[in-house]
Amino acid sequence: MTDSVLVSARHLKKSFHTGALEVPALRGVDFELRESEFVALVGPSGSGKTTLLNLIGALDSPTSGELRVLGQDIAALSRERRSVLRLQHLGFVFQAYNLVPVLTARENVEFILELQGVSGAECRRRALEMLTDLGLASLADRRPAELSGGQQQRVAVARAVVSRPKLVLADEPTANLDGANAESLIRLMQDLQARYGVTFLFATHDARVIQHARRVVTLTDGKVSEDRPSPSGA
């Protein structure tokens, strides 16, 4: 695996147990993700998109096969080492925003930096800088309930990228946004990718998102059925 490969999956499988039944979610995925890519992961519901994101995000371990993220074998990592990998090198953007309701926008963005041990003054500086970059400086002291859905998702993106992670994983990031906000969010992530070299991998059904991806990977029945450059040439 070369230095530019962030994620490498070989014959990756994941099954879940429901009572006595074993339900396969991934049935042998082969996949690579390189630095600074902007990739859409698509496919019908139940095709394994969220399961693959969770494995790459070190939120779960594979049943079999090999998965290396930033050179580390996910199956071989302890729960503690997976936590360190997530904290130090990965960012997450969720469909439901997952902001802490009692914290302000600035405090939500600072939260990851605090967990990393960054000093209070530096946390504040970096959080305000990121919120300014995303056009949210005037909303820094508002709590999530005082923000629109689009504003909350931008705060979530700020939180995901403020620590300059190698890779950001986004699960249906535009699902709760209208057309204008969805378009704005995707262009924002493209800009962050261009400026900071952050790699983005997002699972989506949204055609507006897919048309902006530079590469589209399709999952069907737990396998990669197609892997192609975006037809839009984004």
Sign of CA dihedral 135, 140, 144, 147: negative
Q: Does 89 reside within a domain?
A: yes
On average, the pLDDT of the chain sits at 91
pLDDT in tens, 79-130: 999 999 999 999 999 888 889 999 999 999 999 999 999 999 999 999 999 9
Contact assessment for residue 8 and residue 1, using Cβ atoms and an 8 Å cutoff: yes
Contact assessment for residue 199 and residue 205, using Cβ atoms and an 8 Å cutoff: no
61: part of which helix (H) or strand (E)?
none
- Report the distance separating Cα 68 and Cα 85, nearest Å: 12
Q: Does 112 reside within a domain?
A: no
Q: Does 115 reside within a domain?
A: no
SS3 (DSSP) at 227: strand
Q: Does 22 reside within a domain?
A: yes
What Cα–Cα distance (Å) separates residue 27 from each residue in 12, 15, 54, 193, 223?
7, 8, 15, 31, 6
pLDDT in the model for residue 207:
85
First vs last C-alpha separation in the chain = 26
Weakest-pLDDT range from 42-46, 71-75, 154-158, 227-231? 227-231
Asked whether the predicted pLDDT for residue 231 surpasses 80, the reply is no
* Domain span holding position 38: 5-102+166-229
Q: Does 60 reside within a domain?
A: yes
Asked whether the predicted pLDDT for residue 3 surpasses 60, the reply is no
Q: Does 154 reside within a domain?
A: no
CATH number of the domain bearing residue 51: 3.40.50.300
**pLDDT confidence tier of residue 1, bands split at 50, 70 and 90:** very low
- Report the distance separating Cα 49 and Cα 4, nearest Å: 23
Query: Domain tally for the chain?
Result: 1
Q: Does 219 reside within a domain?
A: yes
Q: Does 223 reside within a domain?
A: yes
- Report the distance separating Cα 49 and Cα 171, nearest Å: 8
pLDDT in tens, 161-205: 999 999 999 998 888 888 888 888 888 888 888 888 899 999 998
